[in-house]
Structure 1
Amino acid sequence: MDALASFPPDHAADVRHHWTLDPETTFLNHGSFGACPRVVLEAQSRFREQMERQPVRFFVRALEPLLDSTRAALGAFVGADPDDLALVPNATAGVNAVLRSLDLRPDDELIVTNHEYNACRNALEAAAARASARVVVVEVPFPIEAAEQVVHALVGAVGPRTRLALVDHVTSQTGLVFPVGQIVAALAERGVDVLVDGAHAPGMLPLDLRALGAAYYTGNCHKWICTPKGAAFLCVRRDRQRAVRPLSISHGANAPREDRSRYRLEFDWTGTFDPTPFLCIPEALRFMATLMPDGSGWPGLMEHNRRKALAARALLCTALGCAAPSPEDMIGALASVPLPPGDGAAPRGPLFLDPLQEALFTQCGIEVPVIPWTAASTAPAAPAAPAAPRRLLRISAQIYNARGEYARLTEALSMLLPLPAAVLPRFSSSL
């Protein structure tokens, strides 16, 4: 039982009913798409009813002040001026909006690390190709010994033609928290703007975007804030807003209004859409802050999930007979551990699911991602499948996850992988 001693107090039994998650599935993959609580889904239904009851009144008269209220609540949460926030459907759209707005020239250089999320890496490659610019891939090791390695690697890649660095706040594959404050400051000294891909950060990590000072920051709300799918934001520093435009150009491009910036006018209306995920952000922020029984709110929830992720990682490292692949200060509510190499079998499905991930789900009822990890610096070939056999297992830790679920994962791995039985902890599935 010693392996479970480092877990924080388990509140899963008290809060799980707030989610509609399948009770037959051990869901350890909150990080991919999030999961929205019932009370927030109910709020979305009320907004949709309001929208459909009188669509013209809703879109023409009611929507703008509702979006203002959303930005006010979100700005207070992430430490940003509400007027600097544009609402976008996901962080990938935020990254694309910035990259498409850049006036790149031939031979300009764009920096990215080998940990960057594939979708955003593809967007960077496309932006570079349109302008005959060049993508410079910075190798960040994994396993990694210290966060400073990330800063040194990025700074070392800056040259006279460097225009922008696209940097994860929390890496998707490896689950690492990058030191974006140090990165932004170090690159600013060298005249390089940073676009922070903060897809996982809001709700996982405390944010103060004013203090960070990045030229561009985009983050999802549907992951760790637990809004409905389709809610994210783009924060653009005031001196860069004039040049940044949404992916869809619409009425705001020639709106005669002078009470709002062109940045706000263009992003607030890009055509008819369902704004209800955005409008649920205040309710999600309110509700999630109530879940810690000690009243510690969001700070307590973030720390609880982080401690759970660290304890679960330690449990898995023991089972797999490996050392922790990164220091604790680089972990939030995600953690990845290396797996034994695969057998080279081709990944399955449109998203290239590893056969082990499918076996964990179909045979054991466990939803957890198994991620190819090549650390390759070359541009990803699309639509070819990622290379095998190196791979990682990435766990998520949300308050609804019970510590016994991670124990069940180790037991499932013992059945599906050639692991030494002597190091595999066995725990009752009732934990």
Structure 2
Amino acid sequence: MPHGKAGAQADDSSKLQPSDFRQLWLLDSEVTFLNHGSFGACPIPVLEFQQTLRQRLEQQPLLFFSRDFETLLDETRQTLAKFVGSASEDLVFVPNATTGVNAVLRSLPFTPNDELLTTNQEYNACRNALDFVAERTGATVVIADVPYPIASADQVIEPILQAVSSKTRLALLDHITSQTGLVLPIARLVQALTQRGVETLVDGAHAPGMVPLSLHDIGATYYTGNCHKWLCSPKGAAFLYVQRDRQDAIRPLTISHGANSPRRVGVAPLGEGRSRFQLEFDWMGTDDPTAYLSVAKAIEWMGLLLPGGWAELRANNRDKAIAARTLLCDLLQVEPPCPEEMLGSLATIPLPDGSYTQLQNALWDEFQIEVPIVPYPNPPKRLVRISAQLYNTLDQYAYLGRSLLTLFAN
């Protein structure tokens, strides 16, 4: 349950305003922080919970790792599995979604006859992983051009399906694009690709906590998502989902004790075995696992902040992002670049051409605004990407708009 002053405020959260919610985070009150999407921000009570776990670990490391850890991990995994709509047996923890993408890509045996499909809006780190694997195996990376600005979700589906051929082995797709903040029609895409015999690896870095999520209904072969962004867990917590019949092929980036563990299903006595999938990913060597073990607390805590729980929290953030985008588009006199139905709690607004680094630095140096200026599709084209979390106010977005106008006028 909530702790201390922050906990007392959250218990009566129906009376809190956005400026009050900010007190539940450690964010600097002198900074206009509009960039929750990059690294998230962990509430004080969740950080306090993590610290109690760290103290427990250090007080008796052998007890913690050898006797308690696996039970604690399974308990938080069950909570996470319920939240994302999957069986807990199909989930493992990884430090971040990029690690999840790498684990899948570097486990699969591609050949020079294979094509690996992705889009022009794929997250750079994961695109690099795809290129790395293609270079080592001789596979070909095929890029589907998803337009931006965009008028409808159909403009996402059409170019991706047109890029599929008889050689397409795997499609790497964002659920929510990092650069442009688009919520892609991922369930429709996965279904259409599966019907064509193409496995799907979904980079859902932003999805958990931003949009309703049911991995079972999406049906992707592989899905990875961050917990430190919109779930607000401590940094270093993400998950990888793998369909049950594909788990034997997927190995962690670090091979450790789980590779030959006698506790594997089929080796251990009936009822005592665990899948190699979880044995390998659950223990890759000594590390601080408290970020993983705090995920259930983050889900619980964030779900208490509004009377309607997570559904109201997601709707609140989305409505705020849409209102903020409208405000900024009006101030900057630009058209919204995508329909509202393709937005979650991120939104991007086109800006006049220019240096993205100079503009981002000026917003920070002169106005103490923390917001990303994105070079898209290529410099000098650029966007401003805003995030919306409970602690943000519309006044902050208005301040951003006025600051941009000031900088453009100089």
Please indicate the TM-score interval, normalised by the length of the shorter structure.
over 0.9
* Root-mean-square deviation over aligned CA pairs: 1.2
Structure 1 consecutive aligned stretches of length 4 or more whose deviation exceeds 2 Å: none
Q: Are 1:394 and 2:391 counterparts?
A: no
SS of corresponding position for 1:398: coil
| Counterpart check, 1:65 vs 2:56 | no
Instruction: State the alpha-carbon separation in 2 of the partners of residues 217 and 10 from structure 1.
Output: 35
List runs of 5+ in structure 1 lacking aligned partners.
1-8, 348-353, 375-386, 420-431
Q: Which one-letter code corresponds to 2:148 in the other structure?
A: F
**1:418-429 counterparts in 2 under 5 A?**
418=409
Equivalent residue for 2:368, pick from 358, 365, 374: 365
Q: Which amino acid aligns with 1:79?
A: G
Aligned equivalents of 2:406, 2:167: Cα separation in 1: 52
- 1:417 partner amino acid: F
What SS does structure 2 have at the residue aligned with 1:417? helix
Q: How many angstroms apart in 2 are the aligned matches of 1:143 and 1:181?
A: 22
Q: Does 1:328 pair with 2:340?
A: yes
Q: Say if 2:358 is the partner of 1:355.
A: yes
Q: Is the 8 A contact 1:11 1:402 kept in 2?
A: no
Residue 320 of structure 1 and its aligned partner are, at CA, apart by 1.5
Residue 225 of structure 1 corresponds to 231
Matching of residue 281 in structure 1 with residue 272 in structure 2: no
- Residue 10 (structure 1) shift: 8.4
1:414 aligns with 2:405: yes
Question: Which residue of the other structure, out of 320, 341, 353, is the alignment partner of 1:341?
Answer: 353
> What's 2:129 paired with?
123
- Amino acid of the structure 1 residue aligned with 2:341: D
Distance 2:155 2:316 in 1: 27
Residue equivalent to 2:283: 269
1:260, 1:280 → 2: CA distance? Answer: 23
Q: Aligned partners of 2:279, 2:293: CA distance in 1, in Å?
A: 18
- Partner residue of 1:3? none
Is 2:23 aligned against 1:24? Answer: no
Q: CA deviation at 1:11?
A: 2.7
1:6 alignment counterpart = none
1:405 to 390, 396, 399: 396
**Aligned partners of 2:398 and 2:375: how far apart in 1?**
23
Q: Secondary structure at the match of 2:196?
A: coil
Partner of 1:109: 115
Instruction: Quote the residue 2:3 is aligned against.
Output: none
| Superposed displacement of residue 14, structure 1 | 2.6
Give 2:41's match in structure 1, choosing from 11, 15, 35: 35
Structure 2: how far apart are the matches of 1:10 and 1:312? 20
1:294-353 Cα offsets, whole Å, 9 max, x none, are x100000000000000000011111121111001110000001111000xx5x6xxxxxx
TM score, norm. by length of structure 1 = 0.89
Q: Take 2:258 and 2:330, find their aligned partners in 1: how far apart are those partners?
A: 56
Matched residue, 2:314: 302
Q: Is the 8 A contact 1:87 1:268 kept in 2?
A: yes
1:153 to 153, 156, 159: 159
Give per-residue Cα distances to partners, 1:374-415, cap 9 Å, x unaligned. Answer: 2xxxxxxxxxxxx52111100000011011101110110111
Aligned equivalents of 1:335 and 1:216: distance in 2? 26
Percent of pairs with identical residues = 57
| Structure 2 counterparts to residues 210-221 of structure 1, below 5 A | 210-221=216-227
Deviation at 1:360, TM superposition (A): 0.4
State the distance in 1 between where 2:57 and 2:16 align. 39
The runs of 5 or more residues in structure 2 that have no matched partner are: 1-14, 266-272
- Give the corresponding residue for 2:305: 291
Pairs aligned (count): 388
Indicate the residue corresponding to 2:144 in structure 1: 138
Alignment of 1:154-173 (within 5 A): 154-173=160-179
Alignment check: 8 A CA contact 1:308 1:333 kept = yes
CA distance in 2, matches of 1:11, 1:305: 13
